[in-house]
Chain A
C-alpha cells in the first residue's frame, strides 16, 4: 500500500469517476482492443471479460499475461487478436514482471496502465509469491485474476481455486478440500482497492476496472469466469451460470476501498434471499454425483461466507 499522501490523492480520484457514464452498456466505448478472432472455446467467458477490461482501460495499457488460457486466446503467432501491447511471461512471474514494467514506464514519465490478466492457477498457486511481493511493495498496477476454478489451458486439472467437490482431471473423485480464499489473502495486504466481479455482469466489471485504474498503487479484481468445457455445461449457458453463481450467493460481488467493504447491488439481494444452491450446482457436470455430506458442506461454506460479509458490512464484528 502506498504512503498516506498517495492514498488521499487516490480517494479524490475515485470520486471523480462519473457514475452516470457507466450505468448502461451504451456508455461502454465501441473501440475494440481484443478482436473477435480469438482462439477461445465457444462460450468462453474469460475472453469476454478481457474485452471489457480493455475497453475500460483504453489504448494506453500494457497487458501482462502469464501462462494460462489467455496465452492462447490472444492468438497464435504471427496472428494476434490484441490491439494493445501484450507481454507474455512465465507462469509464476506475472506480478513481478509487472513491477518492473510499471517502474520502468513511470521512470519514463508515462502513465500507462499496467494490467496483469492471470488465471486462478497463476494467481493462487504458482504465482502467489510474486503476487504477494508486488502488493507488499506497492507496485502501481492492476492485477486481475479471472477465475475459471481450474487449469483450463492444460485441460482442467485442479487448482487451489477449484471448489470443494468439483471433479477435475486430477480430482476425478471430486476435490476434497475447499477453494482457497484468495480475496482474504489479498485483503491482508491492505490494497487501496480490491473488488470481485463476474463475467455475467460486464457493466459492473467495466466500472470496477475504471475505478481501479483511477487509483494509485496495487489494485486487485477477482472475476468469476465460468468455463463450459471445464465446468461441463452447454456453451450457451455461460451467462446464466455466472448469474446463478451470484444469485445463489456462491459468488459475492463487492468492493473494498482502503479496506472498507461495500457489497454491490446484485449480491445485496442475493444475500438477503439466496436462490437455491442446486440451481447453480445441478447444471454443471463437474458437480455430478456429489455426496450429501459434501453438498451440505458446500452449502455451509456459502452460508458462512454470506454471513461473514453481511456482518462486516453492517459493522457487526
Chain B
C-alpha cells in the first residue's frame, strides 16, 4: 500500500508485518513514536504480540534476550542514552547468538542534553557483535527493518541487527512509504538453540581461557558470512518487492574524481550537492555507506574521498574517515559535521568538496582549530 509516513511509523509498520512474539521497549526521544505505535497495534489487536512495558532499557534488552532464547521473534527500539544504558545487554545478546532486531534512532549524548541526530550512539556499540545498517529514507527504514529479521535469523548469522535512522531528520519526516504484503518472505522463527526442557542445556556458564576465544571466533565467522547473507536477502527482497539495496548506495560515482562518503540522511543530502557540483564541472559522486558492521569492501581506488563523520572518536578522529582509510588505504579529507543535529545543507556539503584538503580534518562551524 502506498501512503506517507514518518521514519518511526515505517519501522513500526515493518515490525507489525514481521509479527514478533514479544516487543519490549522503553520510551526515549526521538524514538518514542515507535514504542507508542507498537503499543497501539498490540492494544487494537492489529499485532498479536506481547508488549512488555519495562522500567529501563537494560531491562528492555534483557527481556528481549529472555524472549528470543525462549523461542519467539523479538524487537526493541531505542536511542542515544537508552542504547548506552543497555550496553551490557547489547553485548550479551550478540554473545548469546540471539537474532534480536532493534531500531536505534541516532541521537547525540549528554551532557548537555541534546535530542538531535548524531551517530556516536551506534558507533559506541561497534564492538558488540551486532550487525549495523544505516538508512537514508522512510522507505528504506521500512525495508531494512523487514530484511533485518531475515538476516538476523539466518542460521549462518544468528546475530542481532541494529537498524539506524537519524533522529528527527528521518524519524520525524513524512515521506512516501510503500508497505508490502510480506507473504513467506520471513520464515517462521526458528532458533536452533532455543530453550527446551526436552533438551536441557545450560546457557552461558563459566567458560575458561581454553574455550572462550572459540565462541568469540564463532561470532566473527558469522559476521564474515553475514556479508553473503545480506547480499542474498537484499537480492531476494529486490526480486519480490522491486526495491534494491547494497552495502552502499552509489550516486554518479562511475566517472567521479571525488566521492563524498556519508551515512544516513547526510548521505542523501550529499546527492543534491553532487548535482550542484556537477553543474559547476566538478566530477563528484556520492557513496552512502549503509552497512557499518560487517564493514563492506569498498572500491574507491583512484578517487579523492571526502568523508563526513556525524560522530567523533576523541583523541583519534572521525570513525568513518578512519575506517575508510584503514580499509582502502585512501587518505580522505575528513569533515566532522552534523554533531547533535547541527544544520548541514547540500550547499555546505558542496563547500566541503570544493575546499577539500586530503589528509586533513575539519570541524564544520569551528573556526579556531588547526
Contacts and interface: CB of A to CB of B under 8 A. Distances in A.
Direct contact of A and B (CB under 8 A): yes
B113 interface: yes
B107 to A, nearest CB: 12
Interface residues of B, number: 20
Contacts of A158: 53
Given A91-B81, A92-B85, A169-B39, A157 B55 contact: no
Contacts of A170: 27, 35-36, 39, 53
Q: Interface centre among B26, B35, B36, B55, by most A CB within 10 Å?
A: B55
Interface string B31-49: 0100110011001100000
A157 B32 contact: yes
B111 interface: yes
B74 to A, nearest CB: 17
B56 interface: yes
Contacts of A172: 39-40, 43-44
B183 interface: no
Interface in B18-36: 26-29, 32, 35-36
A160 interface: yes
Nearest to A151: B27
B60 to A, nearest CB: 11
A125 B56 contact: yes
Contacts of A171: 39, 43, 53
B112 interface: yes
Contacts of B43: 171-173
Interface string A65-80: 0010001000001000
Q: Interface centre among B27, B29, B85, by most A CB within 10 Å?
A: B27
Contacts of A173: 43
A169 B36 contact: yes
Nearest to B40: A172
B56 A126 contact: yes
Nearest to B28: A154
Contact of A88 (B29, B36, B40, B110): B110
Interface string A200-243: 00000000000000000000000000000000000000000000
Interface string A25-51: 000000000000000000000000000
Contacts of A88: 110-113
Contacts of B112: 77, 88
A153 B113 CA distance: 12
A160 B56 CA distance: 11
Nearest to A169: B36
A276 interface: no
A6 interface: no
B53 to A, nearest CB: 6
A133 interface: no
Q: Interface centre among A71, A128, A170, by most B CB within 10 Å?
A: A170
Contact of A160 (B40, B55, B81, B111): B55
Secondary structure dominating the interface of A: loop
Interface in A160-201: 160, 169-173
A100 interface: no
Given A88-B111, A92-B85, A170-B36, A128 B55 contact: yes
A128 B43 CA distance: 28
Interface string B77-110: 0000100010000000000000000000000001
Contacts of A160: 55
Given A157-B32, A169-B39, A170-B35, A90 B53 contact: no
A244 B304 CA distance: 69
Nearest to A173: B43
A259 interface: no
Contacts of A91: 81, 85
B32 A155 contact: yes
B39 A67 contact: no
Nearest to A158: B53
A283 to B, nearest CB: 24
B35 A157 contact: yes
Nearest to B114: A77
A158 B81 CA distance: 19
A123 B209 CA distance: 41
B29 A154 contact: yes
Contacts of A71: 113
Nearest to B37: A169
A158 B32 CA distance: 12
Contacts of B32: 154-155, 157, 169
A124 B44 CA distance: 28
B56 A92 contact: yes
Contacts of B39: 169-172
Nearest to B41: A172
Given A126-B55, A170-B39, A90 B81 contact: yes
A69 to B, nearest CB: 12
Interface string B125-148: 000000000000000000000000
Given A171-B39, A172-B43, 19 more contacts: A67-B81, A88-B110, A88-B111, A90-B110, A92-B85, A124-B55, A125-B56, A126-B56, A126-B85, A153-B29, A154-B28, A154-B29, A154-B32, A157-B32, A157-B35, A158-B53, A169-B32, A170-B39, A171-B53
15 contacts: A71-B113, A88-B110, A88-B112, A88-B113, A125-B56, A126-B26, A126-B56, A126-B85, A151-B27, A153-B29, A154-B29, A158-B53, A169-B36, A169-B39, A172-B40
Interface of A: 67, 71, 77, 88, 90-92, 124-126, 128, 151, 153-155, 157-158, 160, 169-173
**Nearest 10 A-B pairs (CB), nearest first?**
A125-B55, A126-B56, A170-B39, A169-B36, A157-B27, A173-B43, A154-B27, A172-B43, A154-B32, A172-B40
